[in-house]
């Protein structure tokens, strides 16, 4: 019995050590892929990382002028309201765009049997999350200028970010896998994101959605996610508990489905690429 117990203890210790090594490898790989993505994205650029903020800044400037000077939407503190919508949307859309081409752009890595190709999508979503973090500093500056103080509701921000991360990663895995087999997917993605942008209250308020289209709005996870950002940062409101749980469930389902489908088809990637 003593010998058996000792063997079981050693086996358990070995499993734990292997698990820790695997986690360390995954984290190290992710950090290297994220660093590589950031370096390649701005290689040869004078402004470098600032370009990641200039594109949403230009969008914010145009929409701010349009909907405060030309077509008044009558939304208080419109600039921080707009920034709180553009930043998470930009993270979502840019992550999917980058992920859709990740497998094709990394053919040599994919053809290595030991390479975990899922990490390319993790890197794409994570690198764009870093840009969201930089943009959040800009949003905080707008809040200060507008006289909006953070409240304890802001403590829910990490949960909202985690929900969007899971939802985005799940879709990124699906889109990247489909693009390997159907190269039109990336072009269709651009059309889909364009339509999705206008169906999401990025630059307008939820209350302005006509009753006839409210059902379509309710089914849009990104609409609720963006509203949650505004709730906790601008309005000092704690997110609706039931809706928050529903979004957690939806993001978990999307991520689980994305991982399952991706892993079912990854064995054929090398041949298709």
pLDDT computed for residue 47 by the predictor: 59
Count CB-CB contacts under 10 A for residue 137.
Answer: 9
Q: What is the mean pLDDT of residues 171-188?
A: 91
- Quote the pTM value: 0.86
Q: For the chain, what are the domain ranges?
A: 1-41, 47-272
Cα 211 to Cα 37: distance, rounded to the nearest angstrom? 43
The residue whose two tokens read 């089914």 is 219
pLDDT tens digits along 220-259: 999 999 999 999 999 999 999 999 999 999 999 999 999 9
**Which residue, among 52, 225, 48, 197, has the nearest Cα to 127 in the 3D structure?**
52
Q: How confident is the model at residue 166 (pLDDT cuts 50, 70, 90)?
A: very high
pLDDT tens digits along 186-201: 889 999 999 999 999 9
pLDDT above 60: residue 146: yes
Q: What is the DSSP string of 36-103?
A: HHHHHHTTT-SSGGGHHHHHHHHHHHHHHHIIIIIS----TTHHHHHHHHHHHHHHHHHHHHHHHTHH
10 Å CB burial of residue 219 (0-12, 13-18, 19+) is exposed
Q: What is the mean pLDDT of residues 16-45?
A: 69
């Amino acid at each position: 019995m003593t010998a058996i117990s000792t063997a079981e203890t050693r086996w358990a210790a070995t499993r734990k050590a292997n698990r820790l090594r695997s986690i360390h490898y995954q984290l190290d790989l992710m950090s290297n892929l994220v660093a590589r993505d950031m370096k390649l994205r701005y290689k040869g650029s004078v402004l470098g990382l600032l370009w990641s903020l200039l594109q949403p800044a230009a969008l914010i400037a145009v929409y701010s002028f349009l909907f405060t000077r030309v077509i008044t939407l009558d939304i208080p503190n419109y600039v921080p309201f707009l920034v709180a919508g553009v930043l998470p949307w930009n993270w979502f859309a840019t992550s999917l765009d980058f992920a859709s081409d990740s497998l094709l752009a990394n053919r040599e890595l994919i053809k290595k049997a030991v390479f975990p190709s899922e990490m390319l999508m993790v890197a794409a979503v994570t690198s764009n999350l870093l840009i969201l973090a930089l943009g959040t500093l800009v949003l905080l500056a707008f809040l200060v200028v507008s006289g909006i103080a953070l409240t304890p509701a802001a403590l829910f921000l990490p949960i909202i970010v985690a929900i969007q991360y899971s939802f985005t990663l799940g879709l990124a895995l699906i889109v990247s896998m489909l693009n390997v087999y159907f190269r039109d997917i990336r072009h269709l993605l651009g059309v889909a994101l364009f339509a999705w942008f206008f169906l999401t209250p990025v630059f307008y308020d939820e209350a302005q959605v006509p009753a006839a289209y409210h059902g379509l709005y309710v089914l849009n996870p990104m609409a609720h996610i963006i509203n949650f950002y505004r709730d906790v940062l601008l309005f000092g409101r704690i997110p609706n508990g039931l809706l928050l749980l529903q979004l957690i469930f939806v993001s978990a389902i999307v991520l689980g489905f994305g991982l399952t489908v991706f892993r079912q088809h990854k064995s054929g990637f090398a041949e298709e690429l």
